[in-house]
Structure 1
Amino acid sequence: MAVSKERRLWAAATAGNLGDGVYRVAIVLLAARLTSDPVAFSALTALGFVPWLVLGLPAGALVDRYDRRRLALLVGAVRTGVLAALLVAVATGTVSLWLLYGVVLVLGAGETVYDTAVISMVPAVVADRERLETVNGRFQGADILAQNFVGPPLASAVFAVAAGGVFGINVACYAIAALLMLALPGTYRAAGTEHTAPIGRAIGEAVRFVRGHRVHRAMLSVVIVLGFANAMATALVALWARETLDVPEAAFGVFLLAAAVGGLLGSQTAARLAAWTGRGRAMALAAIVTGLGLLLASATDSVYLAAAAWALTGWAILVWNVVYGSLRQRLTPDALLGRTIGIYRVVAWGVMPLGAIAGGVLAEAGDLRTPILVAGLLTLAAGGFAVFRLTNARVDAAIAAADEAAGPGGDPVPA
């Protein structure tokens, strides 16, 4: 039954990810038909950050308070309805930029709950917690395939023929995801949440847990640097590829696929690497390789070498994501998991706009290579920090302590 639940949750998540991949391209293409104003257009992207910054922590509290499957179902119904309304607006010619802004905000708000709920459900469907890296690798591999390889080209091709058709595909993906989630048996409410504190107090409880747990504290420190540096390196990637590497516009999408290919490989090799080197060394190695890949990209004029460097960083980033994400699930009590995920997401998304702005400032002060170079150096520093703070011995001790102190149902308690 555990394997069946795992596969059903994977299928629901994959259908939703395909819907996300289609939606993110379709909404941008539709906006480009409605306006050529750079400020109005960029506002659409900026609004995508707002829900995570504002609702990331409250969403985590809701996920820890209510049945996670039911929350995912509720969000699935809402986003299916919202996209159906947008489909009608496109078909009838009544769509507007303000409507798109509203859609982005509503779907973004739903995403804060849906993604946190699905990630929090993963440990509940995995019988052996030692398999978390393998299972999370499969989930993230499917995410990359759906959102990078299948969704965008599908959305572009269908949109060119019929704009409404692409949103019809979107509605179908979200509806299928909801139906698959509906078919998932069992309840997924965190243990020990029958008597709930006010949301503000509940969030404070999770903040104190993360702050008092040295492995969580170290991982979050690395996440801050990686998020900031990655945004710095990628904010001007289109200009860097065009003006420094002479990548034609028609080939830019292919160039970006190098990172997606590397990420797909990373998602599928992370579990083996962690088993071979240990989780702590795997995380440190991932951060270091990410930094080296960025430094290589900043130093070359060859589009092929730059694509290889981009693929290397994609591989390393996904190794980090799989290993640290699995460890976060392993060390966190089920009753705190949603809020803990929310803390990580808010911090990571919070520093990304700052990193993007810093990248622009550095490029203006130097050239388009400078942000990538500085990002590489920062990431290498984070890797060095991880070498000393996320050692195998420290990580294994934290896992052993969490497992030994596990409460009813095998859920870890604060270390």
Structure 2
Amino acid sequence: MTTSGQADGDTSAVEKRNVNRMWVAAAAANVSDGLATTAMPLLVVSVSREPLALSTLNALWFLPWLLLGVVVGALMDRWDRRLAMVRAAAVRAVLVGLLAVAIAFGHGSLALLYPIVFVFGSAEIVYDIANRVLLPSLIPPGRLEVVNSWLVSTENVGQSFVGPLLAGVLFAVTESLPFAVIAVLLLVAAVAPWTIRGDFRPRPAEGAARPSIRREIAEGMRWLFAHRLLRHIAVMVGVLGFLGAGVLALLVLYARENLGLSSRMTGVFLAAGAVGGVLGSLVAPKVRQALGTGLALTLAVIVMGVATMGFAGTDQPVIAMVLFGVTGIGSLVWNIITLALRQALIPDEILGRVFTSYRLLAYGSVPLGATAAGLVATWTSLDTVFLLAGVLQLVLIAGYFRLLMVAGREYEATLRTDEAENASPPG
């Protein structure tokens, strides 16, 4: 017979092992994404210096969120979330592997890149949502903020530091090399969750019939927009996604044209955002505890807005790198706090649907923002895009400040109630 202590020890060991495997998957997937988000724009710039060519790339990458996001969310409440991660990463690996071969043989055109990016982004939705909604099944709610901080820190380092640095170096060697490395890393991202044991298909309530996909999607949307705090944060995220997408879509062109950087140093510039991101991911839980949820989120947006405007005022690479690092701090503080908030407040049986309803606003605005920024930059200048994005972020937070403060206090009261219930001995 197993003792209680042994059972607790076994549970702790399994939890640690599963989290470690999720970390390996996160590290591989996010380094591959960092490589892709730098190597693909570098490939575009090697063909065309038009802002619209770059913004089209970014728009196509995120367009699947508008078309497929809520459907994928509903499917994540039906499918085994672990297997969904495995299959999505494998599809992405095959796609980018084929792109690497095409580039190596001199066929790497925009006509080939654009459709691959669209399918690549579609599979990314499945992987990303499955990853987010699988985690609460692996660890207790009280550890979500800490583990999320760890995983998001890994995400930021991979996407914004290691990936861009490698992309710049590898692209300088040969244009196909970063894409071959991406394919290998995505295979690792498929294998790691495959080794986690268990069935992670959500189960409907006993005796309940499974409704149609359309009805489940509507249920997720209704739940989100009925929740006062999440509803308003989702709207804010939609606006921030629109503005941020325009800035990020044009950063490679900004680095090459305004800062005069080579492809290798462009990777270094993009990696600077990760330095601030690491700091943001490490301090996010402490910032929320010290300032409260509402004030912490407000400060994060102010930091992002002011730093974004700073891009328009400099052509000095070091200053631009510092500014990008500062935006990384604000972005990661915002992301970690709001991620833990969603995971804690959304019931598991509808987590996938509500997550993608939320992200439909966050990422669905990205292709629109990227396209708008490309047009504004074409008609005016890159500096105009940065100034407008920064000012509008500050206007947004001024309008939502009071509501965030009130809603944040309600969320913290909910956390205290949950902690008290979890601390009480079972009756």
Q: TM-score range by the shorter chain?
A: 0.7 to 0.9
Paired residues for 1:1-400 under 5 Å: 1-29=14-42, 35-36=47-48, 43-90=56-103, 97-127=110-140, 129-192=141-204, 195-234=209-248, 236-237=250-251, 247-250=259-262, 251-298=265-312, 304-359=318-373, 368-391=382-405, 392-399=408-415
The alpha-carbon deviation at position 55 of structure 1 amounts to 0.9
Using structure 1 for the length normalisation, give the TM-score: 0.84
Structure 1: runs of 5+ lacking an equivalent: 407-415
Q: Secondary structure at the match of 1:186?
A: coil
The alpha-carbon deviation at position 104 of structure 1 amounts to 1.9
In structure 2, how many angstroms separate the alpha carbons of the residues matched to 1:171 and 1:375?
34
The alpha-carbon deviation at position 333 of structure 1 amounts to 1.0
The alpha-carbon deviation at position 387 of structure 1 amounts to 3.0
In structure 2, how many angstroms separate the alpha carbons of the residues matched to 1:362 and 1:95?
28
User: Which moves more between the two structures, 363-372 or 223-232?
Assistant: 363-372
Contact 2:63 / 2:366 at 8 angstroms: preserved in 1? no
The alpha-carbon deviation at position 153 of structure 1 amounts to 3.1
Contact 2:63 / 2:364 at 8 angstroms: preserved in 1? no
The alpha-carbon deviation at position 145 of structure 1 amounts to 1.8
Assess, with a 3 A threshold, how the Cα gap between structure 1 residues 12 and 235 changes in structure 2: closer, same or farther.
closer
AA aligned opposite 1:150: V
In structure 2, how many angstroms separate the alpha carbons of the residues matched to 1:201 and 1:324?
26
In structure 2, how many angstroms separate the alpha carbons of the residues matched to 1:296 and 1:41?
22
Assess, with a 3 A threshold, how the Cα gap between structure 1 residues 352 and 100 changes in structure 2: closer, same or farther.
closer
In structure 2, how many angstroms separate the alpha carbons of the residues matched to 1:107 and 1:231?
18
Contact 1:331 / 1:402 at 8 angstroms: preserved in 2? no
Contact 2:249 / 2:370 at 8 angstroms: preserved in 1? yes
Contact 1:69 / 1:117 at 8 angstroms: preserved in 2? yes
The alpha-carbon deviation at position 135 of structure 1 amounts to 1.5
AA aligned opposite 2:156: I
Assess, with a 3 A threshold, how the Cα gap between structure 1 residues 292 and 389 changes in structure 2: closer, same or farther.
same
The alpha-carbon deviation at position 19 of structure 1 amounts to 2.2
Assess, with a 3 A threshold, how the Cα gap between structure 1 residues 28 and 289 changes in structure 2: closer, same or farther.
closer
1:188-213 residue CA offsets vs partner (Å, 9 max, x unmatched): 22242774322111110011001100
Assess, with a 3 A threshold, how the Cα gap between structure 1 residues 307 and 315 changes in structure 2: closer, same or farther.
same
AA aligned opposite 2:365: V
In structure 1, how many angstroms separate the alpha carbons of the residues matched to 2:191 and 2:84?
13
The alpha-carbon deviation at position 347 of structure 1 amounts to 1.3
Q: Paired residues, what number?
A: 402
Assess, with a 3 A threshold, how the Cα gap between structure 1 residues 181 and 348 changes in structure 2: closer, same or farther.
same
User: Which moves more between the two structures, 113-122 or 70-79?
Assistant: 70-79
Aligned to 1:410: none
RMSD over aligned Cα atoms: 3.3
Assess, with a 3 A threshold, how the Cα gap between structure 1 residues 205 and 110 changes in structure 2: closer, same or farther.
same
1:73-125 residue CA offsets vs partner (Å, 9 max, x unmatched): 12123223333444454556666654433422222111111100001112222
User: Which moves more between the two structures, 231-240 or 189-198?
Assistant: 231-240
1:269-308 residue CA offsets vs partner (Å, 9 max, x unmatched): 1122122222232212212222233345555676655543
Contact 1:69 / 1:181 at 8 angstroms: preserved in 2? yes
| Paired-residue identity, % | 38
Contact 2:168 / 2:268 at 8 angstroms: preserved in 1? no
Aligned to 1:413: none
Structure 2: runs of 5+ lacking an equivalent: 1-13, 423-427
AA aligned opposite 1:340: V
